[in-house]
Amino acid sequence: MGNIFEPQCTPSLLGPDDNEGSLKAKYELGMFPKRLGQGQFSKAYECSSRDSHEEAYALKVFFQDADAADHAKNELRVLRVLGHHPRIIRVVECDREEPFPLRLVLELCRGGQLFDRIKERGRYDEQDACAVTRQILEAVAFMHGRGVMHRDLKPENILLVSEDNDIDIKVCDFGIAKVADRGFMPRSTSFLGSDYYLAPEMIRQEEYGPEVDVWAAGVSTYAVLSGTLPFMGEGGDLRQTYEKIVERDLKFDGEAWEDKSELAMDFVSQMLLVQRDKRPNAATALHHPWLVHCGLDEDTVQPQVPFRSQRPLIAGPQLSMGSPPSVICSTRQAPYMLPQRTGDEAPASFPSVRTDMIARKISAPAVLNGSQRVGTSIV
């Protein structure tokens, strides 16, 4: 692991000190700033208020190029639309230095990425996994209610608030999120996201909406419960990965699932329905018996009303990936049909490296039919 402390450089990470309202006048980093993380378009550092060193924040410094500038502008816009929610990262202040809005001051989450926490633990026990999933869906339901589609929901973009707590989370990184026009739900055909978390309709390059966040939340729940990912080609092969996603090559095999309840598997199966109109929206998913009754004896859980996917009216290997097909759940059977486990192929492991967001200039269907090949480069 590299050194997380970096020497200050010129120009200052906090920007120019040209007036008393500047970030540099309000915050400080120290001689060796602590780096919290780095993505495709930015680096994040811990900073503190000059007025009170006990008030710590995250400084997100975007790279000086046009793509990074677009992400910065979009993230700031989305965070302002969302306002405050306990499960979504909050923007404190921004730097509007031209030509790029280069810096955001955000609330600090000291626990790091959920991705890293899963790797440390191997996998979560069911009760903790349920708590994490519930909070993710609370954030997603709120976003969708505000007309925002995240499009890159994954454990790398979910932060733990504290180093000492495994379940208190906040969703972050809204650089490719989409905001709907007033009164409508966001729709898009752009091929954006992270390979292992893409919904089938994105790979088929169909028009899609907030249902893609529900799918990604389902993939993330699978990862939290098992330390593996549900859909990954051999050696990370992209074509095989896409095939597994569009064919819903979903299994609940291996040691990780032996102590998990049927309700947990049913919940994941419902979130990962290929038919997007059958997937529950985030608000409906919060009422699934697994989230409502987690921790109770499963034999005592007898829901009176079938759990059904309902569309709202608006106002991504030891975190391993992998596994093939279980039976698609049908919401038409009362109270609901539980997934069947088939085969004995071991799931692939959680990836050892983080999954980068992709914005490919090729056709995903072409990757599936083999007429185009895709490397690991990101465009």
Is the residue at 370 inside a domain? no
Is the residue at 15 inside a domain? no
Task: Give how many domains the chain has, as a whole number.
Answer: 2
Is the residue at 198 inside a domain? yes
- Give the pLDDT confidence of 158-212 residue by residue, as tens digits: 999 999 999 999 999 999 999 998 767 899 999 999 999 999 999 999 999 999 9
Is the residue at 129 inside a domain? yes
Query: Among the three residues 107, 134, 166, which one is the final residue of a domain in this structure?
Result: 107
More confident call, 62 vs 181: 62
Residue 14: predicted pLDDT = 79
Share of the chain above pLDDT 70, in %: 72
- Give the pLDDT confidence of 3-16 residue by residue, as tens digits: 555 555 545 787 76
Residue 315: predicted pLDDT = 31
Is the residue at 170 inside a domain? yes
Residue 162: predicted pLDDT = 95
Share of the chain above pLDDT 90, in %: 58
Same domain for 76 and 123 = no
- Residue 67: CATH number of its domain: 3.30.200.20
Average pLDDT over residues 247-267: 96
Average pLDDT over residues 71-78: 93
Residue 292: predicted pLDDT = 95
What is the C-alpha separation between 156 and 85, in angstroms, rounded? Answer: 19
What are the φ and ψ backbone dihedral angles of 42, each rounded to 5 degrees? -160, 165
Query: Among the three residues 66, 92, 107, which one is the final residue of a domain in this structure?
Result: 107
Please give the positions annotated as active site.
152
More confident call, 49 vs 378: 49
Residue 6: predicted pLDDT = 59
Same domain for 268 and 145 = yes
Residue 341: predicted pLDDT = 29
Same domain for 63 and 155 = no
Close Cβ partners of 285 (under 8 Å, ≥ 6 residues apart): 137, 214, 217, 267, 270, 271, 291
What is the C-alpha separation between 194 and 294, in angstroms, rounded? Answer: 29
Residue 353: predicted pLDDT = 53
Same domain for 207 and 88 = no
- Residue 233: CATH number of its domain: 1.10.510.10
Is the residue at 336 inside a domain? yes
Same domain for 222 and 133 = yes
More confident call, 1 vs 284: 284
* Beta strands 358-359; 192-193: pairing state: antiparallel
Asked if residue 305 has pLDDT above 50, the reply is no
Query: Among the three residues 50, 82, 107, which one is the final residue of a domain in this structure?
Result: 107
Same domain for 131 and 33 = no
Q: Residue 256 in contact with residue 123, Cβ under 8 Å?
A: yes
Same domain for 216 and 83 = no
Residue 57: predicted pLDDT = 95
Residue 347: predicted pLDDT = 43
Residue 364's pLDDT band (boundaries 50, 70, 90)? low
- Give the pLDDT confidence of 92-106 residue by residue, as tens digits: 998 866 666 589 999
Q: In b/e form, how buried is each residue of 151-165, taking b as 16+ CB within 10 angstroms? A: bbbbbbbbbbbeeee
Residue-range definition of the domain harbouring residue 182: 112-363
The H helix count followed by the E strand count for the chain is 12, 13
- Give the pLDDT confidence of 144-159 residue by residue, as tens digits: 999 999 999 999 999 9
Residue 184: predicted pLDDT = 77
Residue 23: predicted pLDDT = 86
Asked if residue 217 has pLDDT above 90, the reply is yes
- Give the pLDDT confidence of 252-261 residue by residue, as tens digits: 999 999 999 9
The pTM is what?
0.80
- Give the pLDDT confidence of 318-341 residue by residue, as tens digits: 343 333 222 222 222 222 222 332
Residue 52's pLDDT band (boundaries 50, 70, 90)? confident
Residue 166: predicted pLDDT = 96
Residue 64: predicted pLDDT = 86
Is the residue at 230 inside a domain? yes
* Beta strands 35-38; 42-49: pairing state: antiparallel
Same domain for 261 and 209 = yes
Q: Residue 305 in contact with residue 336, Cβ under 8 Å?
A: no
Same domain for 151 and 95 = no
- Give the pLDDT confidence of 34-50 residue by residue, as tens digits: 999 888 899 999 999 98
Same domain for 292 and 165 = yes
More confident call, 39 vs 306: 39
Per mean pLDDT, which range of 17-21, 167-171, 200-204, 237-241 is the poorest? 17-21
Is the residue at 12 inside a domain? no
Other beta carbons less than 10 A from residue 294's beta carbon: 22
Radius of gyration of the chain (CA): 21
Same domain for 75 and 188 = no
Same domain for 139 and 41 = no
CA 339 to centroid of chain Cα atoms: 24
